[in-house]
Structure 1
Amino acid sequence: MVAELPKADWTQREDLAALVRALGADNIRWVGGAVRDTLLGVPVSDVDAATPFHPDQVISLLNEAGIRTVPTGIEHGTITAVLEGGPVEVTTLRRDVATDGRRATVAFAKEWREDAARRDFTINALFAHPETLAIDDYFGGLGDLDARRVRFIGDARQRIREDHLRILRYYRFQARFGADLDTEAEEACAELAETMKGLSRERVAGELLSILALPSPAPTIARMHERGVLKVILPETTQAQIAALEALTSHEKMLAARPDALRRLSALLPALPHVAEAVAARLRLSRKQRAHLSTLAARSDADAGRPKALAYEEGMDAARDRLLLAGAPVAALDGWEPPQFPLKGGEIVAMGLAKGPDVARLLQTVEAQWIEEGFPDRARVEAILSNLK
């Protein structure tokens, strides 16, 4: 079993070495995703650190070393060290004092194990010494990593009662890393699924979209549906939509299309704009996300036969997503730029037609035929206009 962190590019960063010198090697540990992902051999995006020092002391020591700090979550013990190679969150060791399923009241701690015990999963509670790279594994996280098993620290039901969002976090980590299902975790998530109704919609949306953005979320989403978890946050989804997501992800892989959470969310919903709008409102999605989801819900069987017309009418991103949802090819859009309609309303008025709604209607009719004919040149547009006058 691995006892120390393999050397990686990030472990040899000079700016991280300066951070370690400022706090002292025995007073800082790398923790969380960077440790886990390095052990799994996957790219590391963020580096987090833990320390027994109080946040004020961390700020003072880093300032003395010339390292700029930002008090990003100082009330919870977190400050951000602004480093050349990327920011690092440094968090004071903590223990939970009280929890209500939505938030926790914490107190600062002094022991590494005490901080590890309040984390959610064993694979997220691994600490690495910054110089020796020796790993402290208090709850069997290394064994779980080897087995690709996502397991709660301690009693799964108790950990979920502390923070109901851990249900969705479990499925996200299971979709990303898991292979060997943990029976206790699966049963606890199903049993306590209804507790998610008390969570903020933004937190639910964030986790759901994170799951859907993963390379292969369909098996996990199917299991969430089977265990009655998905219906709590997405009651609109039926078995037919689960199959639609599976078909979509398979089609994406065949075309090497990048994963997209909103496209996949659309697959999980009936193709009805009013349903998409209701779900977007419930999940508190941004205005841009709501508009895109509604556009995807307006998809039809005709989309596959008119890719360029679709791109002109709805935009390139919406067209690609609707074609993928239809199981259609998208190659016709590669390198293609939607043309500009070569006729203005003023030109029609100059031809003798009075200003007013008739001009707008005529212009729309000509444009519609121009689109359906595959965007011919101006001479053809003038011919179309002449035939309609």
Structure 2
Amino acid sequence: MTAHLPRAEWTQRASLAKLVETLGADDIRWVGGCVRDTMLDYRAHDIDAATRHLPATVIDRCKDAGIRTIPTGIDHGTVTAIFDDGNVEITTLRRDVATDGRRATIAFSHEWKDDAARRDFTINALYAHPETLEISDYFGGLADLSARRVRFIGDAETRIQEDHLRILRYFRFATRFGDGWDEEATAACSALAPTLKGLSRERVGWEMQNLLALPDPSATIAKMRALGVLQEVLPECGRREVDQLGRLIEAERAADIEPDAMRRMAALLPAVPPVAEAVSARLRLSRSQRDRLMCVARRDTRDGDRPRGLAYDVGKDCALDRLLIAGKDPSLIIGWEAPRFPLKGGEIVARGVGKGPEVARILQRIEKRWVDEQFPPRIRVEELLDEELAAR
């Protein structure tokens, strides 16, 4: 029985109709995530197309049709068509010539099945005709989608040896689309886990963030550790931290707080700032991500005693992370905006204290008492100032 793609909103865009007219309906197919997600009745975020045309032909035809393009991955056959309602990545059909686990040497092809055969999982190798919406399924991807099964195309070890990042991609896709584990896949991931050391750290960091951003990756992280995979990318994470991630996710749900990859990464690390800094450097995280991990790593058992004071001291984001990881109630800081400290150094100088470091020390002492007293009004701050000056 022939399967067809449902007529989702994106399939009816005028911009895509223009692209199909430009490249020819028999020479272009919607492929990958947009087809997979639409078949599952998920919202398709990115639209990808495969084409028989060479990249230069795609660019020339689009130019003649008034469609702006960017050669985003021209060496690998990818051109991005720019539209107001969403860009489309158009990639020429390819087949692998040689692979080394990190990158592939490709040749362009004219056959849809050649292109499908080089994809990682069966559920990602579904091609939809742009007009009839008929689906071409070369490796049983539709049956796997129906069974919520994530399976490599062909031999799992061979596919991982072609691109070692597929180990992490398997766990991410199995978490999002699967219902259980494929024994051949997990065995191959375990056997080839040491190959992850040869990958770009940015690619590893990005895949880990994508995995941790899913609704509940706790069972997957535990599985990765049991298979020896997690130790290759995050050796700092022990069983205690894996269990901590599970508790964090429960706390997020209880507080109705959205998943956050960096918060979950912090939960997988011991509360040791130098460890957080080392992991951030190794995974090539951004400065803001590094600062956040280090802030959370400074957590201690007293964080839940004064949640608003903590949020004032370290910022709401870090405070929320610390409270959730510690299993403390974050409700007092959700929707709360920290007040501005109602005292300036000039007021202290006006009371007879000479300009200099003593003014700063008095300000700090009063601000600490103000925070400890849960941000009382201005009149109380004036009393605190009187007390400090009297003590001098």
Tell me whether the two structures share a fold, i.e. TM-score over 0.5. yes
Question: Can you list the C-alpha shifts for 1:215-261, whole angstroms capped at 9, x where unaligned?
Answer: 11111111001111000000011111111000011111122110000
Question: Can you list the C-alpha shifts for 1:315-354, whole angstroms capped at 9, x where unaligned?
Answer: 1211222221122222212332111111112221221112
Q: CA deviation at 1:28?
A: 0.2
- CA 1:51–1:364 in 2, change beyond 3 Å: closer, same or farther? same
The residue correspondences of 1:89-108 to structure 2 (distance < 5 A) are 89-108=89-108
- 2:88 corresponds in structure 1 to 88
2 CA distance for matches of 1:70 and 1:152? Answer: 31
1 CA distance for matches of 2:319 and 2:180? Answer: 38
Q: CA deviation at 1:85?
A: 1.5
- 2:348 corresponds in structure 1 to 348
2 CA distance for matches of 1:267 and 1:302? Answer: 17
- Residue range with higher mean Cα deviation, 303-312 or 168-177: 303-312
Identity of aligned residues (%): 61
Question: Can you list the C-alpha shifts for 1:115-135, whole angstroms capped at 9, x where unaligned?
Answer: 000111111011010111111
The residue correspondences of 1:104-123 to structure 2 (distance < 5 A) are 104-123=104-123
2 CA distance for matches of 1:139 and 1:60? Answer: 33
- 1:75 corresponds in structure 2 to 75
- 1:34 corresponds in structure 2 to 34
2 CA distance for matches of 1:363 and 1:163? Answer: 58
User: Contact 1:167/1:189 (CA < 8 Å) preserved in 2?
Assistant: yes
- 1:259 corresponds in structure 2 to 259
- 2:272 corresponds in structure 1 to 272
The residue correspondences of 1:150-165 to structure 2 (distance < 5 A) are 150-165=150-165
Q: CA deviation at 1:70?
A: 0.9
Give the secondary-structure state (helix, strand or coil) at the position aligned to 1:332: coil
User: Contact 1:31/1:50 (CA < 8 Å) preserved in 2?
Assistant: yes
Question: Can you list the C-alpha shifts for 1:126-159, whole angstroms capped at 9, x where unaligned?
Answer: 1010111111111111111111111111111111
Q: CA deviation at 1:113?
A: 0.2
User: Contact 1:147/1:180 (CA < 8 Å) preserved in 2?
Assistant: no
- 1:203 corresponds in structure 2 to 203
Letter in 1 for 2:253: K
2 CA distance for matches of 1:252 and 1:336? Answer: 18
1 CA distance for matches of 2:366 and 2:105? Answer: 64
- 1:17 corresponds in structure 2 to 17
Give the secondary-structure state (helix, strand or coil) at the position aligned to 1:235: coil
- 1:362 corresponds in structure 2 to 362
Q: CA deviation at 1:290?
A: 0.3
- CA 1:2–1:353 in 2, change beyond 3 Å: closer, same or farther? farther
2 CA distance for matches of 1:7 and 1:220? Answer: 33
- 1:240 corresponds in structure 2 to 240
User: Contact 1:165/1:196 (CA < 8 Å) preserved in 2?
Assistant: yes
Q: CA deviation at 1:75?
A: 1.2
Paired residues in the alignment total: 389
2 CA distance for matches of 1:14 and 1:69? Answer: 17
User: Contact 2:255/2:331 (CA < 8 Å) preserved in 1?
Assistant: no
User: Contact 1:96/1:105 (CA < 8 Å) preserved in 2?
Assistant: yes
Q: CA RMSD in A?
A: 1.1
2 CA distance for matches of 1:244 and 1:336? Answer: 26
1 CA distance for matches of 2:212 and 2:132? Answer: 37
User: Contact 1:31/1:49 (CA < 8 Å) preserved in 2?
Assistant: yes
Question: Can you list the C-alpha shifts for 1:352-374, whole angstroms capped at 9, x where unaligned?
Answer: 11222222111111110100001
5+ residue gaps in structure 1? none
Determine whether 1:124 maps to 2:121. Answer: no
- Residue range with higher mean Cα deviation, 372-381 or 31-40: 372-381
Letter in 1 for 2:35: V
Determine whether 1:339 maps to 2:339. Answer: yes
Question: Can you list the C-alpha shifts for 1:147-173, whole angstroms capped at 9, x where unaligned?
Answer: 111111111111111110000000110
- CA 1:196–1:15 in 2, change beyond 3 Å: closer, same or farther? same
1 CA distance for matches of 2:242 and 2:58? Answer: 48
2 CA distance for matches of 1:361 and 1:74? Answer: 60
Q: CA deviation at 1:306?
A: 1.1
Determine whether 1:225 maps to 2:215. Answer: no
- 1:144 corresponds in structure 2 to 144
2 CA distance for matches of 1:371 and 1:235? Answer: 39
- CA 1:51–1:251 in 2, change beyond 3 Å: closer, same or farther? same
1 CA distance for matches of 2:34 and 2:78? Answer: 17
User: Contact 1:98/1:105 (CA < 8 Å) preserved in 2?
Assistant: yes
1 CA distance for matches of 2:371 and 2:105? Answer: 60
Give the secondary-structure state (helix, strand or coil) at the position aligned to 2:302: helix
- 1:285 corresponds in structure 2 to 285
Give the secondary-structure state (helix, strand or coil) at the position aligned to 1:98: strand
Letter in 1 for 2:145: L
The residue correspondences of 1:301-380 to structure 2 (distance < 5 A) are 301-380=301-380
Give the secondary-structure state (helix, strand or coil) at the position aligned to 1:139: coil
2 CA distance for matches of 1:246 and 1:9? Answer: 37
- CA 1:2–1:36 in 2, change beyond 3 Å: closer, same or farther? farther
1 CA distance for matches of 2:254 and 2:335? Answer: 19
User: Contact 2:4/2:133 (CA < 8 Å) preserved in 1?
Assistant: yes
1 CA distance for matches of 2:69 and 2:31? Answer: 19
Letter in 2 for 1:139: F
Letter in 2 for 1:337: E
1 CA distance for matches of 2:356 and 2:284? Answer: 40
- 1:190 corresponds in structure 2 to 190
Q: CA deviation at 1:213?
A: 0.3
Q: CA deviation at 1:2?
A: 6.6
- 1:61 corresponds in structure 2 to 61
Q: TM-score, normalised by structure 1?
A: 0.98
Runs of 4+ in 1 over 6 A off after TM superposition: none
2 CA distance for matches of 1:2 and 1:120? Answer: 23
Give the secondary-structure state (helix, strand or coil) at the position aligned to 1:29: strand
Letter in 2 for 1:128: A
Give the secondary-structure state (helix, strand or coil) at the position aligned to 2:370: helix
User: Contact 2:69/2:82 (CA < 8 Å) preserved in 1?
Assistant: yes
User: Contact 2:2/2:134 (CA < 8 Å) preserved in 1?
Assistant: no
5+ residue gaps in structure 2? none
